[in-house]
Structure 1
Amino acid sequence: MLHTVLRRRTNGETVEQIQPDLLIPTGRRKGQSPSLSSICRALAEHEKTQAYPEAIEQAHAGFAALTAADDIPRPRPARTVISGVE
């Protein structure tokens, strides 16, 4: 959908004109149009990735290093309380 919005915006269309033609392909809202705010958020995120590509690459590399080393903090198992005794 983002590529469609970007392409049509370069042709001079506004987000308001594009929004009714977009359809959500999966999930709870399948077949409905995304909200204007969702489209604007996607455009803003896209602009960030274009403006700061080195930050995106660094974040991906950092995450890959964490997952490879298995250093991602995991939730602690819940403690069972029986009759007020831990």
Structure 2
Amino acid sequence: MAVPVITDDMLHTVLRRRAGGESVEQIQPNLIIPTGKRKGKNPSPASIYRALAEYEKAQVYPKAIEQAPTEFEVIQGDNVPSPRPSHPDRAPL
């Protein structure tokens, strides 16, 4: 699973500075990615906007966000489909 580029600390900084009237484009040069292959670089504005959107969604639908993994497991359960048998008249890919 990929590690998010925007950490919780970075998101907190973005939220605080946006509340002070700054734009994402003004904040972005001051953020530094702490780990991963882009360590030491700035996150893209798109990454910041995605993190803000996820944060907003979690604020609006907190219970749905919490329940989603559990509901997914229930839906999946033992109903994971097995591979379909191949047709003898079709060539394999």
TM-score by length of 2: 0.66
| Matches of 1:61 and 1:11, distance apart in 2 | 37
Unaligned runs of 5+ in 1: 77-86
Structure 1 consecutive aligned stretches of length 4 or more whose deviation exceeds 6 Å: none
> What are the residue-to-residue correspondences of 1:1-86 with 2, within 5 Å?
1-62=10-71, 66=73
| Matches of 1:35 and 1:56, distance apart in 2 | 25
- Give the percent of matched residue pairs that are identical in Structure 1 and Structure 2: 68
The residue type equivalent to 1:10 in the other structure is A
| Matches of 1:10 and 1:36, distance apart in 2 | 17
TM-score by length of 1: 0.70
Q: What's the CA shift for 1:54?
A: 1.5
> Using CA pairs below 8 Å that are at least 6 residues apart, which structure has the higher relative contact order?
2
C-alpha deviations, 1:26-61, integer Å up to 9, x for none? 010000000000000000010000011110121144
| Matches of 1:40 and 1:61, distance apart in 2 | 27
Unaligned runs of 5+ in 2: 1-9, 84-93
Aligned residues between the structures: 73
Taking only aligned residues, the RMSD between alpha carbons, in angstroms, comes to 2.4
